[in-house]
Structure 1
Amino acid sequence: MIRFKYVILYVQDVEQSMNFYKNTFGTEIKFITPEKDYGELLTGETSLSFASVSLAGTNLKKGFLTAKKEDQPFGMELGFTTDHVEALVEKAIQNGAVLYEDIAVKPWGQKTAYVKDPNNYLIEICTEIQ
């Protein structure tokens, strides 16, 4: 059996990054190493995880691109659904996110907005597709 188990974001400060998601989206911390260089949030069956850039570098000898605030976000996103898009966008901004695309309603009726988290990762905040 194959399962999609986790997504790991490479960040400068694991604990700070985890606290942004905990405080914004109400996720709980499942695990963080004593060194605070790796951690996982409880997000259902698939974990949202964080690794420090330095720890990731020990695993990926060929290197990798890091998310930088002065760059555009990577061509990927994390999606969170809610019935209250406006309120969650505001909460994300209060916790350090930056609005990237304002709230819009898609032709199929879904309400969406995009913010960049404090590490420049793109987050879609939206209603469920009906």
Structure 2
Amino acid sequence: MKYAYTILYVEDVKKTMSFYENAFGFQNKFITPEHDYGELLSGETTIAFASHSLGNSNLKKGFKQLSIHEEPNGIEMAFTTENIETDFKNALAVGAVEYESITQKPWGQKVGYLRDINGFLIEICTPIKH
């Protein structure tokens, strides 16, 4: 078995993909002609987005739609970088919201938290040095 996708359900797939391209440098891998599903080139595991309407058609029992105006869910995506301060500021400049400022952890790693334009929690961190 292999972990293949993380799919985030969002209001506007095309707008969200554009945000991730501009904020983090990921590239568009695929988007449906209806713009209700799209994938980014993001490394080993694909980050994908599906519209709320597609989510409602796939998940007959429903799902909780995330809001930037509520506390984030207890899950995050983590992106590693050697240029944390620059990348953190760049994401803020294109619409991310700071959730926790960058701090240095006792093991030497730097970590900061953002929320994307939909309210999803994103950790920006330096790689852990072993």
Give SS of 1:104's match. strand
Q: Distance in 1 between matches of 2:126 and 2:103?
A: 11
Match of 2:84, as an amino acid? V
Count of residues in correspondence between the two structures: 129
Question: 5+ unaligned residues in a row in structure 1: which ranges?
Answer: none
Counterpart of 2:72 in structure 1 is 73
Tell me the amino acid that sits aligned with residue 31 of structure 1. Answer: F
2:16 and 2:3 mapped to 1: Cα distance?
Answer: 22
Rounded Cα–Cα distance in structure 1 between residues aligned with 2:94 and 2:10:
17
Unmatched 5+ residue regions in structure 2?
none
Equivalent residue number for residue 128 of structure 2: 129
Q: Which runs of 4+ in 1 moved over 3 A?
A: none
Per-residue CA deviations over 1:36-55 (Å, capped at 9, x if unaligned) read 00000011221000000010
* Percent of paired sites with the same residue: 53
Instruction: Summarize deviations over 1:41-96 as a string: whole Å, max 9, x none.
Output: 01122100000001010010100101111110110111111111111111011110
Q: Distance in 2 between matches of 1:34 and 1:112?
A: 37
Q: How does 1:31-110 map to 2 (within 5 A)?
A: 31-110=30-109
Name the amino acid aligned to 1:45.
E
Q: Please, what TM-score do these two structures have when normalized by structure 2? A: 0.97
Work out the CA distance in 2 between the residues paired with 1:69 and 1:128. Answer: 27
Say which SS state the counterpart of residue 89 (structure 1) adopts: helix
What amino acid is the match of 2:116? D
Determine the structure 2 residue equivalent to 1:17.
Answer: 16
Q: Specify the alignment match of 2:113 in structure 1.
A: 114
Structure 2: which amino acid aligns with 1:108? W
RMSD, matched Cα: 0.6
State how far apart, in whole Å, the 2-side matches of 1:43 and 1:99 are. Answer: 22
